[in-house]
Amino acid sequence: MALYPSNLTLSPPKSQSMASLRGTAATARLIHSASRARLSLYSASSSLCLSSSSSYSPSSLKCLHFSPLAPHIFKDQKRSSVSTAAAASDPAQLKSAREDIKELLKSKSCHPILVRLGWHDSGTYNKNIEEWPRRGGANGSLRFDIELKHAANAGLVNALNLIKPIKDKYSGVTFADLFQLASATAIEEAGGPKIPMKYGRVDVSAPAECPEEGRLPAAGPPKPADHLREVFYRMGLNDREIVALSGAHTLGRSRPERSGWGKPETKYTKNGPGAPGGQSWTAKWLKFDNSYFKDIKERKDDDLLVLPTDAALFEDPSFKVYAEKYAEDQEAFFKDYAEAHAKLSNLGAKFDPQEGIVLDDVAGEKVTAANYSSGKD
């Protein structure tokens, strides 16, 4: 799934686990920072509550009611002097959250929208801006109403609603990490490659820190190849990575009522799974493989979607080299995709600890987001 218009839900920012602070020095830093840190949000039953830690008593909470238009989207978020700055996620909770995500995928067949959730949080990155979080990227800002309303994020509120119970259960996981964990897990559970992920992304704390609208790619620009390069080069990605990431469209559907693209339903989507309808890029749109490239190349089935930006992969001379390769060699596609996905998931992120957290024996990529190259290989 590329970063095109589709689905969406909102959840509040992560609260820091007090158990992660050890020693008097850490406690002193906590007290010192309390006067300037923003309160993190978590939801409790039918309201969104402000708290610096899940260990605080109910009397210390101030609750924000849900928006009447979107039950889990914040209308506001206030400052408080009783909070800590966002910190690294808890490794044990990350692993447990991953297992819950796997169960969610089995029950809801929501792989495509979870991939898109992670991509759209990280895909706002601008390598030409050094300051965090103004540079955008994987920082959890997509949970805020102001960013959810961006046209490219249409429908993603549904993804946030799906993972909200997991976030409520694991307060020691940041939104930024949860979005990327869900995205990578969805790829792997759909039959895709193991993604060399790392975690420990810090969340932004207020809607004012969301990026401006217009940083994500469009589906039907006048010059598709030029548009893809303009958007992805700004992120520090190159032609090979653009084509590899486009291959994630092997998952999912486009719904015309959200994006303006695709048919209301096809023979591949009329019966679901999940909510029926939309038009998919591939016949088996919950299986991650290289069929996207084969189908785009052959274009023999009118029930399969081909966006202008999809067609560009076989029309642009540089893109075509990689698209042809991936259509013939799934192993090569998986290798390049895994590397590109990991890189995308780290864009713009601020890690705590700086080296990140590795859950498995698969080390995350080591390139610093601000130093990514741009252009062709």
User: Catalytic residue positions?
Assistant: 120
Q: Is 28 exposed, middle or buried (0-12, 13-18, 19+ CB in 10 A)?
A: exposed
DSSP character at residue 295: H
Phi and psi angles of residue 130, each rounded to the nearest 5 degrees, phi first = -85, -35
DSSP character at residue 156: B
CB count within 10 Å of CB 126 equals 17
User: If you write DSSP's letter for every residue of 345-361 in order, what string do you get?
Assistant: HHTT--BSSTT-B-SSS
Query: For residue 102, how far is the Cα from the chain centroid?
Result: 16
Tokens of 298: 């052959």
Cα separation, 164 vs 161, whole angstroms? 5
Beta bridge partners of 43: 48
Q: Do residues 291 and 192 make contact, with C-beta atoms less than 8 angstroms apart?
A: no
SS (H, E, C) 197-250: CCECECCCCCHHHCCCCCCCCCCCCCCHHHHHHHHHHHHCCCHHHHHHHHHHHH
* Sheet with 41-44: strands ordered across: 41-44, 47-50, 62-65
DSSP character at residue 47: E
Tokens of 103: 């169960």
Residue 341 one-letter amino acid: H
Cα separation, 177 vs 297, whole angstroms? 35
